[in-house]
Structure 1
Amino acid sequence: MKIAFFFRRLNQGGIQRMILNCAEYLAHNGHDISVILIKKEGEYLDILDPKVRLITFGNTKANSLYKSFKAILENYKFDILFTASPPLNIFAIVCKLLTGTRTKIVISERNNTLSLFLNNRLSFSKVTFLGIPLFYRFADSIVAVSKGLSQRLATIALIPEKRINTIYNPAYTDSLSQHMHDTIDHPWLVFKQQPVLVNVARLTKAKNHLLLIRAVARVLKNRNIKLLIVGDGPLKEMLQQEINQLGLQEHIELVGFQLNPVSWIAKADLFVLSSDYEGFGNVIVEALATGITIVSTNCDFGPPEIINNGEFGYLAAVGSEEDLAAQIEHALDNPMAKEKQIKRAKDFHVDLIMQKYNDLFASLTVS
């Protein structure tokens, strides 16, 4: 099959990582795979598999986007086009309706769209939310990355839930296993003198790092710990100010974006996710793959499903620094069995998940 994945750019993020995993797997299994980017930008460009064709828009001005996309569709004649965010989903559907292309449009919902809509300022992306009920029904297929997200999307899009395919992200890969053993020279991990917690997430409002920092401050009243926050984003300066104001510079460090954060997770004692909401939560699977014990907020939608409502990790109330601190302390005293964690991670192995995508794509291209 001739399959294309369509996104804005390959900057850091769970969606971008998923695109890389899917594209690489399909390319190595005999399919003709392309990644279409509006702009040739992003930290992940350097690790795009050479078997995957990279296509970028000829013109990125707003009034030329349709023309650029139309030219790509007409030139390459893909069997399947896979998109991964509401604005791009709607853009692809509209382009198909206008051009009459025979390419099958598979749209995917990978974020907690309603929470994004309610919690962010007015923007073009937010306005496109209003188009979901109007346009999503014209997609050839719809994928959501968690059961909770499928249910929510059916309500938002005003379509039957049976039209939505729930397919978890292929977050466990062979590359992930290899990078667990990468050397990390951070002194807190090399010369470990107390438990080290690690968080991996973009520094944005939805990930609620303020909650995590304040919860760690509470834990420090009872025991000595360290926290490494892996990631970058617009809230970096504000978070550093909070760390400084609380006098936690010796206990919490923002280490910035890391191309393979699993190597940091593998050397820590506890992984903590403090998000207000998620669509799936690739990093939870990556943490499970290392065997580490996990604490996550019980947020909609992915993390509780991945750790099966507490079977493979500890859940804290969303937005509660008291409960998050308590769960961190409980987890440090009661680590989970490493083998059990790793076995759960394999439920999200690329081989298992991509077979579901193979079946879906094949069903759409049957003549």
Structure 2
Amino acid sequence: MVQRIAFILPHFRMGGAEQVVLRLLTSLDRTRFQPILILQSSQGALLDQIPADVECHDLGNARASRAVLRLAKILRKERFDLTYTATNAGNLMVLAALRLSGATTRAIISEHTPLSGFLGQAKARQIRIGLMRALYPTASALVAPLPQIGEEHLSILGKRVPQFTCLPNPVVDRIADLPTKQRRLTRLVSVGRLAEEKRFDLMIDAFAHAYAQNADLRLTIHGEGPCRMQLETQIKVYGLEDAIKLPGLNRDIPQALADADMFLCTSRVEGLGNAIIEAMAAGLPVLSVDCPFGPPHLLENGASGALVRSDRPEDIASEILAMTTDTARSQTYRTRGQAMAQRYHSGASIRAHETLFTLACQ
């Protein structure tokens, strides 16, 4: 029997969790699963990539309480076999709606961001934790791409934490051929939402320090978001309009990576770091600041990429400059990085998710 799975998200903007869901919507075996997408708000750059056979529901951009009521109505009517959510807010919304609906639908909740990255800044933190303690035990499983995220939930929820499963994100479809000729690493690239947690302001500060010593350097940051004007002003203050580009959303990230020499990450937190994995698969050496939890895992604490244990722009710049000329180290990072990226091949990840979905529906 084909299992009907409702994937429920706040929106479909360009983000790590949203891209994971898009991969699942696209790749699930249609002889076994029928994916449905429910959005709290039908917004986002990924909307036009939804497969034609995926039924979509829109909660009308409703606020949390109204969205729960509208979702409960859909769940009561549709009687899905399973729901899958990928954000903390989405997890709470769906579990509350399921309780109201009276449906016997099972729920898989997932988290792609360290709790420490947003609970400390969340409005009404204690209320949110209280809701997690009340609602999370009703889920069939909790999924995350790293065990540390499961450990965070255990520390907060204790015995109330659902059964935890660590599953790799479906990120890459192929591993690129490594270049045969070595060159100086001057074309730097990053990909991500132009938002405060990505700390692209820190990246620009560090690049400015490095550029002062090597004017051949260039930086391109692909993405869109609320910090664009702030970042553009920062670039102008440095007088680096010709050296730093913010081209906006890019539909062809593989080509953007192929046009670069090194990938940078200066995020405050990274639940995993899909963009880092994509860069590794493309054969780029990666330089990242040390933050919870993805970068130290993916870069194997510095063995598979440059891990800077400092947030000082000068220290990041120093590592950028060292990387530009150290061809032996960059080649090691390329080789080990591709081995790491192979762990997040879409095919294996999709199969692992399908196995979990089948077990949850039994």
3-state SS in 1 of match to 2:52:
coil
State the 1:129 CA deviation. 4.5
Alpha-carbon distance in 1 for matches of 2:80, 2:272? 28
State the 1:262 CA deviation. 2.8
3-state SS in 2 of match to 1:110:
coil
Instruction: Give unpaired runs (5+ residues) of structure 2.
Output: 177-182
Match of 1:52 among 51, 54, 72: 54
State the 1:59 CA deviation. 7.8
Question: Is residue 187–residue 218 contact of structure 2 (8 Å, CA) maintained in 1?
Answer: yes
Question: Is residue 276–residue 319 contact of structure 1 (8 Å, CA) maintained in 2?
Answer: no
Question: Is residue 136–residue 160 contact of structure 2 (8 Å, CA) maintained in 1?
Answer: no
Question: Is residue 11–residue 41 contact of structure 1 (8 Å, CA) maintained in 2?
Answer: yes
Q: Paired residue for 2:180?
A: none
Alpha-carbon distance in 1 for matches of 2:30, 2:94? 26
Structure-to-structure mapping, 1:121-200, within 5 angstroms: 122=123, 128-159=128-159, 163-173=163-173, 195-200=186-191
Alpha-carbon distance in 2 for matches of 1:163, 1:143? 9
3-state SS in 1 of match to 2:288:
strand
Alpha-carbon distance in 2 for matches of 1:127, 1:87? 12
**Deviations 1:90-117 (CA, angstroms, capped at 9, x unpaired):** 1111222222211111111111222212
Kindly tell me: are residues 318 and 275 of structure 1, through their superposed partners in 2, closer, same or farther at Cα, counting changes over 3 Å?
farther
Alpha-carbon distance in 2 for matches of 1:237, 1:212? 15
How many residues are treated as equivalent by the alignment?
349
1:91 aligns with 2:106: no
**Deviations 1:291-350 (CA, angstroms, capped at 9, x unpaired):** 011001111011221222222211012522122112212222232354543332121011
Instruction: Give unpaired runs (5+ residues) of structure 1.
Output: 178-191
Alpha-carbon distance in 1 for matches of 2:261, 2:185? 9
Q: Paired residue for 1:211?
A: 202
Q: Which amino acid aligns with 2:248?
A: G
Q: Paired residue for 1:294?
A: 286
Alpha-carbon distance in 2 for matches of 1:62, 1:276? 27
Question: Is residue 276–residue 318 contact of structure 1 (8 Å, CA) maintained in 2?
Answer: no
1:244 aligns with 2:236: yes
Q: Which stretch of structure 1 is more off in the superposition, 10-19 or 158-167?
A: 158-167
Kindly tell me: are residues 243 and 29 of structure 1, through their superposed partners in 2, closer, same or farther at Cα, counting changes over 3 Å?
farther
Q: Which stretch of structure 1 is more off in the superposition, 268-277 or 352-361?
A: 352-361
3-state SS in 2 of match to 1:158:
helix
1:34 aligns with 2:36: yes
Kindly tell me: are residues 332 and 194 of structure 1, through their superposed partners in 2, closer, same or farther at Cα, counting changes over 3 Å?
closer
3-state SS in 2 of match to 1:242:
helix
Q: Which amino acid aligns with 1:277?
A: V
Q: Which amino acid aligns with 1:202?
A: R
Q: Supply the RMSD in Å over aligned alpha carbons.
A: 2.5
Q: Paired residue for 1:353?
A: 349
Question: Is residue 146–residue 167 contact of structure 2 (8 Å, CA) maintained in 1?
Answer: yes
Q: Percent identity?
A: 26
Question: Is residue 292–residue 336 contact of structure 1 (8 Å, CA) maintained in 2?
Answer: no
**Deviations 1:192-241 (CA, angstroms, capped at 9, x unpaired):** 99811001111111111111111111111221201011111111111111
Q: TM-score, with normalisation over the residues of structure 1? A: 0.87
Q: Which amino acid aligns with 2:251?
A: L
Structure-to-structure mapping, 1:257-336, within 5 angstroms: 257-334=249-326, 335-336=330-331
Q: Which stretch of structure 1 is more off in the superposition, 50-59 or 318-327?
A: 50-59
Question: Is residue 288–residue 342 contact of structure 1 (8 Å, CA) maintained in 2?
Answer: yes
Q: Which amino acid aligns with 2:295?
A: P
